[in-house]
Amino acid sequence: MKIRADIAQLIRAGHTNASIARRLHCAPSTVARARQALRMPPADALHRLYNEAIPTGRVKTPTGPLPLSPAQQAANRERLMNALRNAA
């Protein structure tokens, strides 16, 4: 049986049959046959979620503006007020 490389890659990464089928727009039975041909056990959805929750040590880059400390907020407010006073 010829196995699609994208299916094999996701199977080895631990995705469930349903997840792979949704992602690649194919039938779950296609994924199941590929999994059997690769002699890989069925993926456990809870095991997959657990693996994703394991810390990797990588820090995610924050999205959006970073929160300012109260001291920085006060300094920004003071600068803004000074600029408005000078403009008037």
pLDDT, tens digit (0-9, with 9 covering 90-100), for 24-63: 999 999 999 998 898 888 776 556 555 555 555 565 666 7
Q: Quick check: 18 and 24 in contact, CB under 8 A? A: no
Q: Is residue 42 part of a domain?
A: yes
Distance in angstroms (rounded) separating the CA atoms of residues 18 and 35: 12
Query: What's the pLDDT score for residue 27?
Result: 92
Distance in angstroms (rounded) separating the CA atoms of residues 33 and 1: 9
Rounded to two decimals, the pTM is 0.49
Q: Is residue 34 part of a domain?
A: yes
Number of domains in the chain: 1
Q: Which residues contact 38 (CB under 8 A, 6 or more apart)?
A: 3, 8, 11, 12
Distance in angstroms (rounded) separating the CA atoms of residues 28 and 9: 15
Mean pLDDT across the stretch 65-72?
Answer: 82
Structural domain boundaries, residue 31: 1-54
